[in-house]
Structure 1
Amino acid sequence: MLLAFDTALFGLLNGRARSAVLDVVLPLFSDAWLLWVGAVLFLGGYAWYCRRNYGEALWRVIVLVMLLGLSVGVADMSCNVIKDEVGRYRPFQTVAGTHFFTPDRQWTVVDEPSYAPGSIGGSFPSSHAATSMAVALVVSLLFRRSNPWIFALPLFVGWSRIYVGKHFPVDVVGGWCVGMLSVLVVWWGCHLLFIRFFNRRNT
């Protein structure tokens, strides 16, 4: 039943809920290099804004960069391990009628499922969804007064991955969960190291 609902929801988001504007805008949220450049610029500006308006200290920006690197790395590696174990095909490989944004940046409609293993890895979970959620959660944890709109990033990235035919909705939700768990693990691990470091210095 879950898989049937997953496929039906994919058909809605990928097939029926489309427009010429979304065909241009949403693929940008799946473009890896553009996301990285955008994330760096956004986080840099966001950190500056928080420091100027809320008095956040510079060390928070440094910790932000460190935690982002660790959290994104853990999320990405975890997704790769899970993908290899699950081995789920992607929508453009399995669902006829999928609107697929090809690597050469062209839209096409899949006539027949190929079920051919691709060079881009499995479908579950979505690494893009995981890493974008990790970024949003780290920012929200470090900047407690940060705007909740930061979570629009993983929402748009997840929507984009479905829209371009790369992932099913369950893949995106799974990616969000991996991203959140990765941040919690990194946060907890850094907290323990921080406590042990200062305990040793005080003994």
Structure 2
Amino acid sequence: MMILNIEELNLTWFQSINASANAPELVVNSAKFFAEYVLYALPLFFIFLWFFGTKAQKEIVLKSLLVIFISLCIGQLIIMFFPHPRPFMMGVGRTLIVHAPNASFPSHHMIFFSAVFISHFLAKNYKISLIFFILTLLVAWSRIYLGVHFPFDMIGAFCIVMCVALLLELFWKRIRSIIMNSLILYKHTQK
């Protein structure tokens, strides 16, 4: 029995997801939409919740942004010390969108979407978390399918975000009022 190491498993999984030479144009275009354009909806979503949402929704926005910021910082440290090339930099698979030849692990797209998903899930806002869970999966699939990420780039990003979000949950009660009161003028509504 042959045991695959992590890199071989990553490559094997990538090759099973990456677009084939005869990939349908509709699937490729759908993947491009999720890989490149859905990300632009996140700031609009945050802005909408910030200006029209409840205090609890604003709190989720802040938590999501904190999780994203901390996760991106961790990601940058990983990139500095353990850079991993993208599939096209290694000459594997098909690449169907243009991307800079920089480190692929962890995926920033995955950090953004999984942070919103996990923040809503932990806040027991299950309807929105389900929508973002589906978007997270679609974005992860599309970026692998189009050849700019490996599966472990997505899994690693998700794990980083999960750890950061759970740690933030532990300390949120202590820092919540400081952050909320300094960014939102809610003193008049608190009793």
Query: Taking structure 1 as the reference length, what is the TM-score of the superposition?
Result: 0.72
The match for 1:123 is 104
The match for 1:67 is 63
Structure 1: give runs of 5+ residues left out of the alignment: 49-56, 104-118, 198-203
Q: How does 1:5-154 map to 2 (within 5 A)?
A: 5-16=9-20, 18-31=23-36, 34-42=37-45, 58-103=54-99, 121-146=102-127, 148-154=130-136
Percent sequence identity over aligned pairs: 22
| Alignment partners' CA distance in 2, 1:175 and 1:3 | 16
Q: Does 1:187 find its partner at 2:169?
A: yes
Indicate conservation of the 8 Å contact 1:132/1:179, yes or no. no
| Alignment partners' CA distance in 1, 2:46 and 2:23 | 30
Three-state SS of the structure 1 residue aligned to 2:96 is strand
Three-state SS of the structure 2 residue aligned to 1:99 is coil
| Alignment partners' CA distance in 1, 2:29 and 2:96 | 13
After the TM superposition, list the runs of 4 or more consecutive aligned residues in structure 1 that deviate by more than 6 angstroms: 44-48
> Given the superposition, is the C-alpha separation of residues 45 and 19 from structure 1 closer, same or farther in structure 2, using an over 3 Å criterion?
farther
Three-state SS of the structure 2 residue aligned to 1:101 is coil
| Alignment partners' CA distance in 1, 2:157 and 2:108 | 6
Structure 2: give runs of 5+ residues left out of the alignment: 180-191
Indicate conservation of the 8 Å contact 1:88/1:124, yes or no. yes
Cα displacement (A) at 1:122: 1.0
| Alignment partners' CA distance in 2, 1:87 and 1:46 | 35
| Alignment partners' CA distance in 1, 2:76 and 2:124 | 29
Indicate conservation of the 8 Å contact 1:126/1:172, yes or no. yes
CA offset digits 1:24-53 (Å, max 9, x no partner): 11122222xx434312444677899xxxxx
Indicate conservation of the 8 Å contact 1:130/1:177, yes or no. no
Which residue of the other structure, out of 130, 140, 148, is the alignment partner of 1:166?
A: 148
> Given the superposition, is the C-alpha separation of residues 58 and 15 from structure 1 closer, same or farther in structure 2, using an over 3 Å criterion?
closer
| Alignment partners' CA distance in 1, 2:54 and 2:177 | 21
Q: Structure 1 stretch 179-188 or stretch 60-69: which is displaced more? A: 179-188
Q: State the AA in 1 paired with 2:90.
A: T
Query: Taking structure 2 as the reference length, what is the TM-score of the superposition?
Result: 0.76
The match for 2:158 is 176
CA offset digits 1:99-123 (Å, max 9, x no partner): 33115xxxxxxxxxxxxxxx55311
- Pairs aligned (count): 173
> Given the superposition, is the C-alpha separation of residues 145 and 174 from structure 1 closer, same or farther in structure 2, using an over 3 Å criterion?
closer
| Alignment partners' CA distance in 2, 1:27 and 1:15 | 12
